[in-house]
Structure 1
């Protein structure tokens, strides 16, 4: 019985050592896991921030492009009005000149 009782005494001590080893190992694993997790989260955060910054730049560029298109369209409309009026005035000047010549010729014929 001594051998049996000795082995029982040895077993609890061995079990306690294993439990202590497991407890010692587990906190180390838990401590290293949060560090890796924190680092990976920091990397993910940095990548997300960079992506947000890139998207902000894209939005700013798109807004600038829209403003440029509007400005060009307004300028085109303005030029169309200006050149349309200019063309009309040029045609009217030719017409007025012809009318003045016709009136002058008519007066010259009536005078003779």
Structure 2
């Protein structure tokens, strides 16, 4: 083979090698691009999974927060209702305490009123000597009644009224053509009530 032909072959080999190297470089570059795209796609999928996980966690936390808030709201509502009930009960107790604070005192005062009334009934109003004493007793009695009336004490004197077991205490039943059955004919002892509460029922006799 001549030198010229050898030279041509060498040049062809070099050119072929260069072309092969260029092709190899192109293939490598393309593989890197493909590999890079694969990496990008994987990263995007990974990021998407992470985002979905974070969203799920946030939604779960929000749900728990809403449940706790609802429980707290229910607790607050119940607490308010309980406080309101307690306030009403306290006001009622205070009102009762004010109304019936003199209940014991009124009970002890009733015999005094009874004695004054007995004295007035027994006194001889036609006796000039007795009259001044009777007037004094009447004035004392009136003062007592005025004071206790201002404090809510009211007498129960049910002559001619229908018998009421809540207000009257029947000691006996009698025949009475002038009264209907179950009517109070005689009051043996007046009763009293304090602001609607019976302090002492009236002792009565009732028609059959």
Q: TM-score range by the shorter chain?
A: 0.7 to 0.9
Which residue in 2 is equivalent to 1:19? Answer: 36
Corresponding pairs, count = 108
Q: Does 1:62 align with 2:79?
A: yes
Which residue in 1 is equivalent to 2:89? Answer: 72
Find the residue that maps to 2:101 and give its secondary structure.
helix
Gaps of at least 5 residues in structure 2 are: 1-16, 131-208
Q: Which has the higher helix share?
A: 1
1:96-107 alignment, distance < 5 Å:
96-100=113-117, 103=119
Q: TM-score, normalised by structure 1?
A: 0.75
* Shift, 1:60, TM fit: 0.6
Find the residue that maps to 1:84 and give its secondary structure.
coil
Determine the C-alpha separation between the residues in 2 that align with 1:33 and 1:5.
41
Q: Does 1:29 align with 2:35?
A: no
Counterpart of 2:111 (choices 77, 94, 100) is 94
Determine the C-alpha separation between the residues in 1 that align with 2:110 and 2:52.
86
* Shift, 1:7, TM fit: 4.7
* Shift, 1:51, TM fit: 0.8
* Shift, 1:78, TM fit: 1.8
Greater Rg over alpha carbons, structure: 2
Determine the C-alpha separation between the residues in 2 that align with 1:60 and 1:14.
68
* Shift, 1:86, TM fit: 2.3
Q: Which has the higher strand share?
A: 2
The ranges of structure 1 where at least 4 consecutive aligned residues each deviate by more than 6 angstroms after the TM superposition are none
Determine the C-alpha separation between the residues in 1 that align with 2:63 and 2:103.
59
Of structures 1 and 2, the one scoring higher in RCO (CA 8 A, sep 6+) is: 2
